[in-house]
Amino acid sequence: MLQCITSNSCVRLIQTHKSTWYFLFLVLGYILYLIFGAVVFSSVELPYEDLLRQELRTIKKQFLQDNECLSEERLEKFLEKALEASNYGVSILNNASANWNWDFTSSLFFASTVLSTTGYGHTAPLSNAGKAFCIVYSLVGIPFTLLFLTAVVQRIMVFSTRRPITYVSTRWGLSKPLVAVVHATLLAIVAASCFFIIPAAIFSSLEENWNFLESFYFCFISLSTIGLGDYVPGESVNQRFRQLYKVGITVYLLLGLVVMLVVLETFCELQQLKTLRKMFYLKKEKPQDRLAILEHDHLAFTSVSHQTNASSVKEGKCKEVGKSCF
């Protein structure tokens, strides 16, 4: 009997706080996914890092043996300065000195990566004035960009998603959720073809040292605003029409970001995903629930007021007759 009551109370507790339990499972799943990513990246990349470190030590040792007049300390200072400049996008190589990082087109490309929060990191402000302006520019520009993208996506969604789905479901009498799923799938395929596969093929032909996988990797990292910065187009030595190329990349990033947001918004409007999201959200209070709470509080307040008034009247009568009311 006691076991039955306990089990029923546990079931009621779980049913009452279902969204909380779902949310806890969501948090646990996210933590496990982070750990899974760390394990995979560590197991895959650590051997390559170790191999590269050994190769650099061997090259450095061979260089010092070939140049006995150069001490290891002087070489370390030189390499430290060169790497520091490289972190700011400045190279000391002769064949790379012709490319300026802060001409107008390169600055335009940098501004687009800042506002879109892609941030490749291949170029960074050198002066304190540039760093201070970057802070102010980002504080204003990033919310401005979010407002701009939201307004653009909202208008595009009307013509790319909502009206086509309504038209097809009305014209052929098909289920609207089914039409929405098919439409979202087709839209994702078109977006992947136009902003991942085709650009990857173009980048692999324009960039000397990029294969198709590396180009596709750049497209994905850029349009998902991860922006690792290990691959940045237009930075090769003999890049033809470099300024025009940089402008084209800037336009591609902005258009691609808009298209990605349209695709994501289209999937978010699917009924199946709405149901899935509701599992992890707190339930909103219904208007009738709020009204019931207010009525309950009002009734409680009224009853307390009546009791207070009755007690006052009783005390007054007792004083008049000079008797104790206890």
Indicate if 58 and 135 belong to the same structural domain.
no
Divide the 326 residues of the chain into consecutive groups of 10 and give the mean pLDDT of each group: 55 70 88 92 90 89 84 84 74 62 84 86 82 92 92 92 91 90 94 95 89 94 86 76 85 93 92 81 64 49 48 48 44
On whether residue 272 sits in a domain, the answer given is yes
State the burial class of residue 258 (Cβ atoms within 10 Å of its Cβ: 0-12, 13-18, 19+): middle
Range of the domain at 25: 20-67
Q: Are residues 129 and 237 in the same domain?
A: yes
Q: Domain for residue 252, yes or no?
A: yes
The CA distance from 226 to 129, in Å, is: 26
Q: d(Cα 111, Cα 246) in Å, to the nearest integer?
A: 12
Considering the domain boundaries, does residue 301 fall inside one? Answer: no
pLDDT of residue 137: 93
Long-range CB contacts (within 8 A, 24+) of 201-208: 203/233, 206/233, 206/245, 207/233, 207/236, 208/236, 208/238
- Residues 59 and 166 placed together within one structural domain of the fold: no
* pTM of the model as a whole: 0.71
Identify whether the C-beta of residue 211 lies closer than 8 Å to the C-beta of residue 304. Answer: no
DSSP labels, 76-120: HHHHHHHHHHHHTT----GGGTT--SSSHHHHHHHHHHHHTT---
Question: How many CB atoms lie under 10 A from the CB of residue 70?
Answer: 12
Judgement on whether residues 187 and 275 belong to the same structural domain of the protein: yes
Count of domains for the chain: 2
Same domain, 51 and 108: no
- C-alpha angle 164-224-184 in degrees, rounded to nearest 5: 20
Instruction: Give the CA radius of gyration of the chain.
Output: 33
Task: Please check whether residue 256 is in contact with residue 112, taking contact to mean a CB–CB distance below 8 angstroms.
Answer: no
Burial of 9 by CB count in 10 Å (0-12 exposed, 13-18 middle, 19+ buried)? exposed
Q: Looking at the domain assignment, is residue 37 inside a domain?
A: yes
Predicted confidence (pLDDT) per residue in 142-152, tens digit: 999 999 999 99
Structure-block tokens of residue 271:
């009924």
Q: What's residue 282's pLDDT?
A: 75
Which residues have C-beta within 8 Å of that of residue 149, sequence separation ≥ 6? 257, 258, 261
For residue 320, being part of any structural domain is answered with: no
Picking from 241, 263, 234, 212, the residue whose alpha carbon sits closest to that of residue 113 is 234
Contact (Cβ atoms closer than 8 angstroms) between residue 247 and residue 105:
yes
Q: Return the sign of the alpha-carbon dihedral for residues 269, 271, 277, 282.
A: positive
Q: Are residues 56 and 159 in the same domain?
A: no
Q: Are residues 135 and 210 in the same domain?
A: yes
Do residue 160 and residue 29 come from a single domain? Answer: no
Q: 3-class secondary structure for 150-191?
A: HHHHHHHHHHHHHHHHHHHHHHHCCCHHHHHHHHHHHHHHHH
Q: Are residues 112 and 259 in the same domain?
A: yes
Is the same domain home to 55 and 182?
A: no
Same domain? 152 vs 42: no
- 111 and 235: one domain? yes
